[in-house]
Structure formats: C-alpha cells, structure tokens
Structure 1
Amino acid sequence: MGAKELCRKHGISDGTFYKWHSKYGGMEVSEAKRLKALEAESDKLKKMLAEHMLDVATRWS
C-alpha cells in the first residue's frame, strides 16, 4: 500500500504522514512511546516553571 492510500484510509494529509515519518521512522514502538512520554513530561515541567515564574513576578510587583 502506498503512502497516498494509507493517508486516505486513515484520514490524514500527506504532509502529516511525512512529518510523522521523518520524526518516528525507524523507531521501535517502545522508543516512540518513550519519546512521547518524555515530551509530555517536558511540557508539564515547562508549564510548572511558567506558573512559578508568574507567581514570583506577581509577589514582587
């Protein structure tokens, strides 16, 4: 099955497919899951840092 047929079957654009392929191509499923978990943790930590910085800024204003 070609990329176009695969995209049509799953309702995604060609651009999305190739973006995912460049990011996750060649990875094992466990590696992709670990990467996704690390990205989620990073987002959570960034949010916590931003909230803390906002709290500090409001205390000193």
Structure 2
Amino acid sequence: MDVSEAKRLKALEDENTRLKRLLADAMLDNAALKDLLGKNW
C-alpha cells in the first residue's frame, strides 16, 4: 500500500465514522419522535 492509498483509506474511514454518527443521531431523533407521538395528550 503506497502513501496515496493509505491517505484515501484514512479519508474513507473518517467519512464512514462521520456518516455513522449522523445515522445514530437520526435514529435517536426518530425514536424520540415516536415516543413523543405515541403518548396520549
């Protein structure tokens, strides 16, 4: 693996981490909304 491949791999890993965090936040928001909407007012 040369330097450019290693840099590309690192960039992809960083992007993957960022996207996983965004997904986790969205899933948490979704769960909170379902909980809120599921309650009787």
Taking the aligned partners of 1:38 and 1:60, their CA distance within structure 2 comes to 32
Q: CA RMSD in A?
A: 0.2
**Larger RCO, structure (CA 8 Å, separation 6 or more):** 1
4+ residue stretches of structure 1 with deviation over 3 A?
none
| Structure 2 unaligned residues grouped into runs of 5+ | 36-41
TM-score by length of 1: 0.57
| Structure 1 unaligned residues grouped into runs of 5+ | 1-26
Between structures 1 and 2, the one with greater helix share: 2
Identity %: 60
TM-score by length of 2: 0.84
Q: Which has the larger radius of gyration?
A: 1
2:10 paired residue number: 36
Q: 1:42 Cα shift? A: 0.2
